[in-house]
Amino acid sequence: MSSLETALEHGLTEEEYNKITGALGREPNLTEIGILGAMWSEHCSYKSSRIYLRNLPTTGDRVIQGPGENAGVVDIGDGLCVVFKMESHNHPSFIEPYQGAATGVGGILRDIFTMGARPIAILDSLRFGDPSLPKTKYVAGGVVAGIAGYGNCIGIPTVGGEVYFDHCYDGNPLVNVFALGVTRADEIFKGYAEGVGNPVIYVGSKTGRDGIHGAVMASETFTKEAEEKRPAVQVGDPFTEKLLLEACLELFKTGVVVGIQDMGAAGLTSSSTEMAERAGTGIRIDIEKVPRREEGMTPYEVMLSESQERMLIVLEKGKEEVAEKIFKKWGLDFSVIGEVTDSHSIVIAENGETVADIPLSLVSEEAPAYDRPVKEPSNLAELGRLDHSELPVPGDLGRVLLTLLSSPTLANKHWIYEQYDYMVRTNSITLPGSDAAVVRIKGTPKAVAMTVNCNSRYCYLDPYTGAAIAVAESARNLACSGALPLAITDCLNFGSPETPEVMWQFKRALEGMAEAAIALDTPIVRGNVSFYNQNEDRAIFTTPTVGMVGLIDDAQRHLTQWLENEGDVVALLGETKEELGGTEYLSQIHGKTAGLPPSVDLEREKNLISTLLKASGEGILNSAHDLSEGGLAVALAECCFNPNGPLGVRVDIPAEIRPDALLFSETQARAIISLDEKNIKRLEEISQEFGVPMEIIGRVEGSRIYVRELLDVPVSEALTAWTTGFENNLKSYG
């Protein structure tokens, strides 16, 4: 097989291959092709997205570390910071659901503690296909078990997340995992291979043949043969990761670490080249010194293996024994496998013979960057048409509410989160199911809130508006929990970048996300792009998932969405419009995915957030819940489902719009709050200060969900529909 044919098998194009031969002045060998194929893959190089990513807002007063490192870092005051990131593990999770999801958790946790932070929380954003399909049930069950198995074993709580179902994810699920850790702002570690002559250290598990070509596989479209690629899926070991975590955190205290990086996608290849490139140095790897668990492994296999639970560390020269003692104590492999050089190249040697020699500039800055053709989808205008007058108003709106509550997307996900140990380490303040997860920062009065959000149906109909709403809803979720929104990490899940319509969706989504992030002062400090999320028939809906972090200075002021006290007043912040396009109601009741998504007004969103934060900071709110999928009626029902005992609500709100829109419109910039009657006047003053419409609409009372004469449903019946809807669809998978 010629070098060109080998390059094509590694995902390189003929044009890219010619660029490599020109730069090297020779034909590359197999190991070099493997290295460049991995590093030039879409997954590692962002070659189709870089021109757009640079336009995102990434700086702010609290930003300590933005894009370019293993994770983003944000200041939370008093010398502390949070380290967080979200990554995708979509392709591996379809091929091997359990290990694909498990290693996604392991990888994101290593990104956190590599920076010197102890991980304290995990969230996940999951997308599956039609829940009636056996394959969906198999994939969903395996993914959930994998997340639970890894997180529970390592002792990091999975405290929240989101789950959506849609036929567009048949054959291509999305598994996006978010993790957050805490450390001191002056104790952050970075992935730099600095100091010529400093030793390069391999620590963790031994290297095997699992995960080879993982980065390339993640940059391919799914085919019918995808499941044959199981060897490209990594195998995780959470018990070893726990040892690695503790060993690394102990090592950091010694002061001997120059730089450190997780061996993630592309394994030893990416960690070594990225560390040297950031530092402007070079690196030599003596490949025979890499610990292995399989015999006969070639340099190519060792460099491209994505075996898990491994780190690459640069130490101060002469401090090897200090580090080795720690890793041996924890029962982990430790080996000096090379050194930092001034060559500006990566040189791989085996028993003194050079087997690869590539300029780092060719790996990184000279990697291809494409300005792909963009084209608005031809069906977009047709999708956007929706004549409300042609939609009949259902006669039994209470039955509509029950149907929505039992739909797989809106129903209670207790079958999932009960598999997670969400209370381990005893930091969790808010139980799964509220607007945001809230975790205390031990030793301080502070708490951190976090959420993940994206309505892909909105993004399919209008990627700009949908992406902006993903940011706005995340900020509302945090504000409804009493947290000031701080910053964003994202997971951008799209189809093939070689399709002009997909690139148009990508471009517009990033424009919407950027505008919203700027308006709400939530810079994007880290992210991930996952292309080629499609099968042979179609691409997934545009899914730019937003993970957002917020700060509560006084954890005692945190809020949940659940009504707390009989007799409390219920108020609506914001205005309801007749916006049924892209709604859960339109999809579940009328069988349509059409119309324009709800409009987004970022000034109104900002004012609503300010109102919620000031009111919660003064302690006048007893609960708060943002309105999103399902609209007012679903939000009211969710407020009634207090885990400590359900409560009823009686609402009397004028129907100035058609009744199904009043109940199920998904108009943005709205929240349901409850408070003691004595605090109404103060709430009115705060609402007026920020120009937010406020209306007292009801009271917490009885055991029914009542909205005028439009809807009257026993809370018990609504709770049963909500509790069993998801379980009935998925619990018996297999």
Active site residue 10: no
Report how far residue 572's alpha carbon sits from residue 646's, in angstroms, rounded to the nearest whole number: 20
CA-to-CA dists, residue 620 to 459, 484, 572, 647, angstroms: 36, 17, 15, 20
User: If 0-12 CB within 10 Å is exposed, 13-18 middle and 19+ buried, where does residue 237 land?
Assistant: buried
Q: What is the biggest distance separating any 2 CA atoms in the chain, rounded to whole angstroms?
A: 84
Question: Backbone dihedral region of 155: left (phi > 0), alpha (psi from -120 to 50 degrees) or beta?
Answer: left
CA dihedral 380, 381, 383, 386 (to 10 degrees): 160
DSSP 290: S
Coil/strand/helix, residue 189? coil
Active site residue 43: yes
Contact 375, 688 (CB under 8 A): no
Report how far residue 12's alpha carbon sits from residue 4's, in angstroms, rounded to the nearest whole number: 9
C-alpha dihedral sign at 453, 457, 460, 466:
negative
Strands 623-626 and 447-453 come out as unpaired
Report how far residue 34's alpha carbon sits from residue 19's, in angstroms, rounded to the nearest whole number: 15
DSSP 559-606: --SS--STT-EEEEES------TT-HHHHHHH----SPPPP--HHHHH
Report how far residue 79's alpha carbon sits from residue 86's, in angstroms, rounded to the nearest whole number: 24
- The radius of gyration of the chain's CA atoms, rounded to the nearest angstrom, is 26
Choose, from 10, 43, 91, 625, the residue flagged as catalytic: 43
Choose, from 10, 89, 213, 558, the residue flagged as catalytic: 89
Contact 440, 111 (CB under 8 A): no
State the Cα angle at 448 between 447 and 452, rounded to 5°: 150
DSSP 115-134: TTPEEEEEEEEEEES-TTSH
The tokens describing 240, both together, are: 């070893």
Contact 514, 57 (CB under 8 A): yes
Contact 586, 595 (CB under 8 A): yes
DSSP 309: S
Report how far residue 32's alpha carbon sits from residue 27's, in angstroms, rounded to the nearest whole number: 9
Write out the catalytic residue numbers. Answer: 43, 89
